[in-house]
Amino acid sequence: MKCKRIFCAALAALLLCLCACQKDGAQSVPETAVPSAVSENAETTLAAVPDSTAAGELVLPEKSNGAPADGKHANGAVQSQSAATQTGTQTPAAPAPAVTQTPVSPEIPQTQTVSLSVTCHNAIAYGILDNPNFQGVVPENGVYFDSDAVEFSEGESVLTVLKRCLKSQKIVYSIGADGYVRSIGGLAERDCGAQSGWLYKVNGELPNVSCKYYTLQAGDCVEFAYTCIKGDV
């Protein structure tokens, strides 16, 4: 019986100790553990913030590679802003002034003069007028055309000027495509012999080219003459 009382007393004392320990643990949590953790975190946070925070400036910690903490590339942001600024302020290029071109009038060839004669004195001497077929066709004085001031344009040939003059006097002619003169005023080659025909001279000389290809010069003296035998012109 005495042992049972001692056991009960010891059990009661143990329970009281347990209750007291539980009360002490519950009170120590708000007083020590929580404030201590908050205090340590607060100190850590304050230690991490630079001194400039106190002046109202927020400085983001930089990464080791120089990029901002938010992960955006600083140069990219600056370039975007610069591009936006340029786009917004770009002035459109002014249109090029219209160029006024003065119309160029075509050059008018200068008119110059030469002398031109078309004669058949050798045919008259040959006796062409004795042939009734040529009476009233060949001029008795042997001159079809004679002028000291025949106008021509620069670059014209002897043949071009000859045709123009004969047409102006309504004198018929027959000239080949190569410029060979077959007949003038009804008087043709071989009418006064096998060697007879029309020749031309420029400044007293017999050119070695067709009159179609001889280019005139100002002041030239051109003669078309009918020949009966070699050397009479």
User: What are the C-alpha distances in Å from 184 to residues 150, 165, 187, 227, 230?
Assistant: 18, 12, 5, 13, 19
At 56, list the tokens: 């109202």
62 in Cβ contact with 74 (< 8 Å): no
Q: How far apart are CA 60 and CA 55, in angstroms?
A: 14
**Residue 149 Rama label (left phi>0; alpha psi -120 to 50; beta):** beta
pLDDT tens over the chain, length 233 residues: 555 666 667 777 777 766 665 555 544 444 444 444 434 443 444 434 444 444 444 444 444 454 444 444 444 444 444 444 455 556 666 677 676 677 776 666 567 999 999 999 999 999 999 999 999 999 999 999 999 999 999 999 999 999 999 999 999 999 999 999 999 999 999 999 999 999 999 999 999 999 999 999 999 999 999 999 999 98
Predicted TM-score (pTM) of this structure: 0.54
CB atoms within 10 A of CB 200: 21
